[in-house]
Amino acid sequence: MGSFLINTLCYLSLSLILTASATTNRPFSDHFAETKPTPTAIKTTRLHFYFHDIVSGKKPTAMRITGPKNAFGTTVIIDDPLTIDTKRGSKVVGRAQGLYAMASQHDPSLLMAITFVFSHGKYNGSALSVMGRNFVLEAVREMLVVGGSGIFRFARGFALANTVRYNLKTGDAVVQYNVTVMHA
């Protein structure tokens, strides 16, 4: 008896909801969403910069937060400067913020999950999010650009990375990034 009552009440409220939406005669999604044509002006932008991963010294820009040192599980949070030249003191055009982790038990390959946030000219404030596998022993590694904001809305593309300098003693690295991205 009790459960019958509950079932009936449920049925009644369900039919009330259905009746309410039927009377407005509009698809459900119209109540909260508006659909417009997709922007058709797809542009391609190529970016070229240097990524400075500084793990040593008084002001490291990369910090190990968990896991062993340089082994499976190592996880590093970064806020690395991006510059127009290989020199550390050259003009900063953005930062790489996010993390990388040693995600292979068999080789030095990293999972990269970073956002390039730009601060230069018309790119100031725009960002690209990059994910992918970075097998650091390979000369050129390819990662995915999975999205973007600001100028880079609707972004997708790829990033090619190659290490320009790696200091075996300190662990500091300079990596050249060539990013090709399509966006609105």
Ligand X SMILES: *[C@@H]1O[C@H](CO)[C@@H](O)[C@H](O)[C@H]1NC(C)=O
**Which residues bind to ligand X, rule: CB under 6 A?**
48, 119, 124-125, 140, 160, 162, 178
CB of 110 to ligand X, least distance (A): 17
Write out the two tokens for 95: 């930062």
Burial class (CB in 10 A: 0-12, 13-18, 19+), 31: exposed
Kindly tell me which of 90 and 119 has the beta carbon lying closer to ligand X.
119
Under a CB-based contact definition with an 8 Å cutoff, are residues 158 and 148 in contact? no
Would you say 160 or 184 has its CB closer to ligand X?
Answer: 160
List all residues 6 or more positions away from 136 whose beta carbon is below 8 Å from its beta carbon. Answer: 108, 109, 110, 163
- Find tokens 């019958």 and name the residue: 4
Residue 48: CB minimum distance to ligand X, A:
5
Q: How far is the CB of 16 from ligand X (least distance, A)?
A: 50
Give the nearest distance from C-beta 174 to ligand X in angstroms.
Answer: 14
Output the six-digit token pair for 65: 């937060």
Determine the Cα–Cα distance for residues 151 and 162; give it in Å rounded to an integer: 26
Q: What is the SS3 assignment for 149?
A: strand
If the CB atoms of residues 119 and 149 are measured against ligand X, the closer one turns out to be: 119
CA distance 170 to 144: 28
Q: In the complex with ligand X, which residue's Cβ is closer, 101 or 145?
A: 145
Q: How far is the CB of 162 from ligand X (least distance, A)?
A: 5
> CB-wise, 101 or 173, nearer to ligand X?
173
